[in-house]
Amino acid sequence: MYQRARYDYLKELENIKNSGLCKHERIIYDDQKPLINVSFPEGEKQREVLNFCSNNYLGLANYPDIIKAAKNALDTHGFGMASVRFICGTQDIHKELEKKITEFYQTEDTILYSSCFDANGGLFETILGPEDAIITDALNHASIIDGIRLSKAKRYIYDHSDMKYLEKIIKRARLGIDIWDGPGLSKEPKPARNILIATDGVFSMDGDIAKLREIVELAKKYDAMVMVDDSHATGFLGEKGRGSIEYNDVLGEIDIITSTLGKAMGGASGGFTTGKKEIVEILRQKSRPYLFSNSLAPSIVAAALEAFDILGKSDELRKKLMDNTEYFRKNISSMGFDIIPGVHPIVPIMLGKFDNDAQLSQDISKDLYEEGVYVVGFFFPVVPKGKARIRVQISAAHSKEHLDKALEAFKKVGKKYRVI
């Protein structure tokens, strides 16, 4: 039976390899930190490399207080819950964390998920029906795209961060007409009941921040709701780490925020949706990843509580991250590298002005690895054609010495390939 399917799978795998898109895992032999032992390809000798490609923005992935909190929770609350939340999977600490996140974001209520992928997967279908419309940024994360696919609401996509286009589309969604004029649109237009604009707070390939002030104003003007996925901003962007929402000064004006605990906030796993209390209550009643998937492990919940406490007590890590980011951005661009300007610790080093940008992104990242700097090169179709890049991610855990070593390696390799 399997023989026929096996042939198809092998053919598909061959196609992936031939198109240069095969993903290979690098094996790390340490905890997640700035200097790690890696073997790549698997089975090769281990080498110590500087880690510039994790989402460990605040360095909490191996932070002593976080580990202590997780260990304590193993003693006080056990290892696992062996239940979904509404049967027997809710502990006092799950409720405590939901309350803490609500206070942090100044929202009305919060619901935890096993991941932000689940939070997004369980959102749209639950709160929007065929009478409604979702308007989504073209570069939104895969989990938003998949979540929207599950919903029966009408779907509109706007060009990335193009506010004029967004306004045009909201007007059309309000009237219930299709995006494009022209023949073939014979269906009776039906005005949308409720409209939700969905956007990433920070876009992970470019490190650019959504124009939330303008989005909120448009939402007010056309009576729409706004949803922001702040996975790449929670904990470090904005004055107190309240993400792109705080950075854009729209605290209290976003209806739904989803985010992850799997990046800056300790980096283990877990996600949440926080926002209007009626929406969160409906999610508790109907959201499928919440109803049909196990509760977040107690040690992760306790560690996340500790992570929010750390943010509340001091700005030190956030400030260090921002200082490191500014230092790296300033120095890499003064060497002559072309970066997307901004303030985010995602620093994309663009290679699009060279004809062979895709190949360059692979050659440069390989050479950097040889020089002891672990970064990843992205090229089409992961990013648009002609926009290949090396994506660097800065962490508060990096020391000035780490940053200087990386900059030195970039200089050497950049010169070799005549990129600078």
Integer CA distances (angstroms), 210 to 42, 62, 298, 338, in order = 38, 30, 33, 21
> Is residue 98 close enough to count as binding ligand PLP by CB under 6 A?
no
The residue type found at 397 is A
- Structure tokens, 94: 């799950």
Three-class SS state of 389: strand
From CA 119, how far away is CA 112, in angstroms rounded?
8
58 or 409: CB nearest ligand PLP: 58
230 or 306: CB nearest ligand PLP: 230
Q: Are 101 and 274 in contact (CB under 8 A)?
A: yes
How many beta carbons lie within 10 A of that of residue 89, not counting itself?
A: 16
**Least distance between ligand PLP and beta carbon 45 (Å):** 30
Q: What phi, psi does 10 have (nearest 5°)?
A: -60, -40
> Is residue 60 close enough to count as binding ligand PLP by CB under 6 A?
no
Query: Is the four-CA dihedral 242, 62, 304, 83 of positive or negative sign?
Result: positive
Cβ within 8 Å of residue 55, ≥6 positions away: 232, 262, 263, 264, 267, 393
Q: Are 269 and 275 in contact (CB under 8 A)?
A: no
**Least distance between ligand PLP and beta carbon 232 (Å):** 5
Helices (H), ranges, 82-221: 85-88, 92-105, 116-121, 124-127, 142-150, 163-175, 212-221
- Interface segment toward ligand PLP; rule CB under 6 A; list 79-87, 96-104, 114-122, 151-159: 114-122
> Is residue 206 close enough to count as binding ligand PLP by CB under 6 A?
no
Rule CB under 6 A: choose which of 110, 143, 287, 395 binds ligand PLP: 143
Q: Looking at 77, 94, 141, 263, which residue is catalytic? A: 263
Q: How far is CA 156 from the centre of its chain?
A: 21
From CA 207, how far away is CA 186, in angstroms rounded?
40
**Least distance between ligand PLP and beta carbon 125 (Å):** 17
> Is residue 231 close enough to count as binding ligand PLP by CB under 6 A?
yes
**Least distance between ligand PLP and beta carbon 30 (Å):** 21
Query: Does the annotation count 395 as an active-site position?
Result: no
Query: Does the annotation count 39 as an active-site position?
Result: no
What mask, x for binding ligand PLP by CB under 6 A, covers residues 235 to 274?
Answer: -------------------------x-x--------x---
Query: Does the annotation count 204 as an active-site position?
Result: yes
**Least distance between ligand PLP and beta carbon 111 (Å):** 14
**Least distance between ligand PLP and beta carbon 185 (Å):** 32
- Interface segment toward ligand PLP; rule CB under 6 A; list 115-123, 214-222, 323-331, 386-394: 115-123
Rule CB under 6 A: choose which of 54, 136, 204, 395 binds ligand PLP: 204
> Is residue 141 close enough to count as binding ligand PLP by CB under 6 A?
yes
Q: Looking at 77, 94, 232, 398, which residue is catalytic? A: 232
From CA 171, how far away is CA 169, in angstroms rounded?
5
Rule CB under 6 A: choose which of 51, 102, 115, 273 binds ligand PLP: 115
Rule CB under 6 A: choose which of 58, 116, 303, 351 binds ligand PLP: 116
Q: Of 133, 20, 15, which Cα lies nearest the Cα of 388?
A: 20
Binding-site size for ligand PLP (CB under 6 A) equals: 13
Q: Are 2 and 365 in contact (CB under 8 A)?
A: no
Three-class SS state of 289: helix
- Interface segment toward ligand PLP; rule CB under 6 A; list 226-234, 280-288, 298-306, 358-366: 226-234
- Any idea which residues carry the catalytic annotation? 204, 232, 263
Contacts with ligand PLP, residue ranges (CB under 6 A): 115-117, 141, 143, 200, 204, 229, 231-232, 260, 262, 271
